[in-house]
Amino acid sequence: MTLASTSTMARVGKRFWLIYLLLSAVFHLSWEIAHSPLYALWRSGSPLEIVSDIAQCTLGDIAIAAAAIVAGSWFTRKPFWPLTAHSALAVVTVLTGFLLTVAIEWVSVHLLGRWSYDAKMLLLPYVNVGISPLLQWLIVPAAVLWLTLRLEGTGSRTTKRTDA
């Protein structure tokens, strides 16, 4: 690999990160707004408290998204994973986000009492955490990764080599 192709790949990697995080923010914000009525704060909180909670949760989602994609990058051990490791990246990213969410939801609800669910929230048996945030972390990262790869033109199985 030449220096020029390494530089191009690094630019693609940075652009990929930016698009991934921006799309994550938009998709997670949308999900947070949509599932807000499944939390007790929706009924008891002021509009300002609800908006503040949605903003905080979305920032948390962005942090989880970043941690999950770093885990995917580390696991694949490929410095330019947007171009070379789609399947492994997707599996590790989604799984990491999902597992972090299970842990955060459980600790926040059952240990810290940071939030509680409305009676409408379906719960995952045995761990008693909400189904909606778990579905969020299966659906949103997969959709965002797919869309990011398509927008970047790195989602095809064949990648043109520019260093030949």
The pLDDT tens digits for 29-59 are 999 999 999 999 999 999 999 999 999 999 9
| pLDDT (0 to 100) of residue 3 | 45
3-state secondary structure of 129: strand
- Rounded Cα gap, residues 54 and 36, in angstroms: 8
Alpha helices in 3-155 (DSSP H): 3-35, 41-44, 47-76, 81-84, 86-106, 131-152
Total length of the chain: 164
Query: Is pLDDT above 50 for 1?
Result: no
| pLDDT (0 to 100) of residue 90 | 85
Query: Is pLDDT above 70 for 154?
Result: no
For tokens 């962005």, name the residue.
62
> Is residue 159 very low, low, confident or very high in pLDDT (cuts 50, 70, 90)?
very low
Reported in sequence order, the residue ranges of the chain that DSSP labels E, i.e. its strands, are: 123-124, 129-130
Query: Is pLDDT above 90 for 150?
Result: no
